[in-house]
Amino acid sequence: MSDETLLLEIVHTLEEHGLVRDEYQLHRVIDVEALEQLVNSTSPQTDLEVRFTVGEFRVLVVDSKVIVNRTSGD
């Protein structure tokens, strides 16, 4: 998966959950190129999880899948 593909997957998933692209600057939250290198460097048997927060959303990258959940506001 290319850096752009993972970046687009993160952005599209955030937008699907209601975060407008103008409401955040993803490059200030995560280094997508470094994340991509990390994801690509693991073997299929590795249980890789990377978590970060963008606004009110928690983002989880597992292998090359992106999962987004709204924070509960705790």
How far is 66 from 39, CA to CA, in rounded Å?
12
Distance separating alpha carbons of residues 62 and 51, to the nearest angstrom? 9
Residue-wise pLDDT for 42-71, tens only, equals: 887 788 889 999 988 999 988 768 899 988
DSSP per-residue codes, 25-42: -GGGT--HHHHHHHHHHS
Whole-structure pTM value = 0.76
Q: For 20-37, write each residue's pLDDT tens digit.
A: 878 888 888 888 888 888
Q: In the predicted model, is pLDDT for residue 4 greater than 60?
A: yes
- The letter for the amino acid at 26 is L
